[in-house]
Amino acid sequence: MNIKNFAFAAAIIMCLAISYYFVIALPNQNQAKLDMEKQKIEREQQEKSNREMSLSTCMADVQARRSEYLKLNGKPIPGKPGVYKYPGYVQETLDKIEKDGNDECIRMYGDHR
Protein backbone atom coordinates (compact mmCIF):
# COMPACT_ATOMS: atom_id res chain seq x y z
CA MET A 1 0.00 0.00 0.00
CA ASN A 2 2.93 2.27 0.51
CA ILE A 3 3.83 2.09 -3.20
CA LYS A 4 0.19 2.78 -4.16
CA ASN A 5 0.18 5.93 -2.00
CA PHE A 6 3.49 7.01 -3.49
CA ALA A 7 2.24 6.42 -7.06
CA PHE A 8 -1.02 8.22 -6.27
CA ALA A 9 0.88 11.20 -4.80
CA ALA A 10 3.20 11.28 -7.83
CA ALA A 11 0.21 11.23 -10.18
CA ILE A 12 -1.44 14.08 -8.26
CA ILE A 13 1.76 16.12 -8.35
CA MET A 14 2.05 15.54 -12.11
CA CYS A 15 -1.59 16.53 -12.63
CA LEU A 16 -1.07 19.70 -10.60
CA ALA A 17 2.04 20.55 -12.58
CA ILE A 18 0.26 20.01 -15.89
CA SER A 19 -2.77 21.98 -14.65
CA TYR A 20 -0.51 24.83 -13.55
CA TYR A 21 1.08 24.91 -16.98
CA PHE A 22 -2.21 25.04 -18.88
CA VAL A 23 -4.12 27.26 -16.45
CA ILE A 24 -1.45 29.80 -15.44
CA ALA A 25 1.87 29.58 -17.30
CA LEU A 26 0.64 29.13 -20.89
CA PRO A 27 -1.96 31.95 -20.78
CA ASN A 28 0.64 34.29 -19.25
CA GLN A 29 3.13 33.37 -21.95
CA ASN A 30 0.53 33.95 -24.68
CA GLN A 31 -0.45 37.29 -23.14
CA ALA A 32 3.21 38.35 -23.08
CA LYS A 33 3.52 37.47 -26.78
CA LEU A 34 0.37 39.45 -27.56
CA ASP A 35 1.67 42.44 -25.59
CA MET A 36 4.97 42.34 -27.47
CA GLU A 37 3.17 42.18 -30.83
CA LYS A 38 0.92 45.08 -29.81
CA GLN A 39 3.95 47.18 -28.82
CA LYS A 40 5.67 46.31 -32.11
CA ILE A 41 2.61 47.40 -34.11
CA GLU A 42 2.32 50.64 -32.12
CA ARG A 43 6.03 51.36 -32.70
CA GLU A 44 5.67 50.73 -36.43
CA GLN A 45 2.62 52.99 -36.61
CA GLN A 46 4.47 55.74 -34.74
CA GLU A 47 7.48 55.42 -37.06
CA LYS A 48 5.21 55.59 -40.11
CA SER A 49 3.48 58.64 -38.69
CA ASN A 50 6.84 60.31 -38.03
CA ARG A 51 8.02 59.55 -41.58
CA GLU A 52 4.78 60.93 -43.02
CA MET A 53 5.13 64.09 -40.94
CA SER A 54 8.76 64.50 -41.97
CA LEU A 55 7.83 63.96 -45.62
CA SER A 56 5.09 66.59 -45.41
CA THR A 57 7.44 69.05 -43.71
CA CYS A 58 10.15 68.40 -46.31
CA MET A 59 7.69 68.91 -49.19
CA ALA A 60 6.47 72.15 -47.61
CA ASP A 61 10.09 73.34 -47.35
CA VAL A 62 10.55 72.60 -51.06
CA GLN A 63 7.49 74.71 -51.88
CA ALA A 64 8.80 77.51 -49.65
CA ARG A 65 12.16 77.46 -51.49
CA ARG A 66 10.33 77.51 -54.81
CA SER A 67 8.17 80.45 -53.73
CA GLU A 68 11.21 82.35 -52.45
CA TYR A 69 13.01 81.83 -55.77
CA LEU A 70 9.91 83.03 -57.62
CA LYS A 71 9.67 86.17 -55.48
CA LEU A 72 13.35 86.95 -56.08
CA ASN A 73 13.29 86.34 -59.84
CA GLY A 74 9.79 87.33 -60.91
CA LYS A 75 7.85 90.58 -61.09
CA PRO A 76 4.57 90.78 -59.17
CA ILE A 77 1.54 91.40 -61.36
CA PRO A 78 -0.38 94.42 -60.00
CA GLY A 79 -3.82 93.58 -58.67
CA LYS A 80 -3.04 89.84 -58.49
CA PRO A 81 -1.42 89.01 -55.17
CA GLY A 82 0.93 86.02 -55.30
CA VAL A 83 1.04 86.01 -59.10
CA TYR A 84 4.34 86.79 -60.84
CA LYS A 85 5.55 87.37 -64.36
CA TYR A 86 8.89 85.78 -65.21
CA PRO A 87 10.94 84.54 -68.16
CA GLY A 88 11.01 80.89 -69.29
CA TYR A 89 14.36 80.09 -67.72
CA VAL A 90 12.90 80.96 -64.31
CA GLN A 91 10.09 78.41 -64.89
CA GLU A 92 12.69 75.78 -65.77
CA THR A 93 14.56 76.52 -62.54
CA LEU A 94 11.32 76.47 -60.53
CA ASP A 95 10.46 73.07 -62.00
CA LYS A 96 13.96 71.79 -61.21
CA ILE A 97 13.80 73.09 -57.63
CA GLU A 98 10.45 71.35 -57.13
CA LYS A 99 11.38 68.06 -58.82
CA ASP A 100 14.82 67.74 -57.20
CA GLY A 101 13.49 68.77 -53.79
CA ASN A 102 10.54 66.37 -53.91
CA ASP A 103 12.77 63.54 -55.13
CA GLU A 104 15.13 64.19 -52.22
CA CYS A 105 12.23 64.20 -49.74
CA ILE A 106 10.93 60.91 -51.11
CA ARG A 107 14.41 59.41 -51.03
CA MET A 108 14.83 60.43 -47.38
CA TYR A 109 11.34 59.68 -46.03
CA GLY A 110 9.62 57.51 -48.64
CA ASP A 111 6.40 58.25 -50.47
CA HIS A 112 3.54 57.59 -48.01
CA ARG A 113 0.77 59.43 -49.79
pLDDT in tens, 59-92: 999 999 999 999 999 999 999 888 899 899 999 9
Q: Does residue 26 lie within any of the structural domains?
A: no
Q: What pLDDT is recorded for position 21? A: 84
Q: Does residue 90 lie within any of the structural domains?
A: yes
The SS3 call for residue 36 is helix
Domain residue limits at 78: 35-113
For the cut 60, the answer to whether the pLDDT of residue 112 exceeds it is no
Beta bridge partners of 85: 75
Give the mean pLDDT of the chain.
Answer: 90
In angstroms, the CA 16 to CA 38 distance is 32
For the cut 60, the answer to whether the pLDDT of residue 100 exceeds it is yes
Query: Rounded mean pLDDT of 35-60?
Result: 94
Q: Does residue 74 lie within any of the structural domains?
A: yes
Domain count, the chain: 1
For the cut 60, the answer to whether the pLDDT of residue 113 exceeds it is no
Q: Does residue 21 lie within any of the structural domains?
A: no
Percent of the chain predicted with pLDDT > 90: 62
Torsion angle of C-alpha atoms 101, 105, 110, 113, degrees rounded to 10: -70
Query: Rounded mean pLDDT of 12-35?
Result: 86
Q: Does residue 11 lie within any of the structural domains?
A: no
Q: Does residue 19 lie within any of the structural domains?
A: no
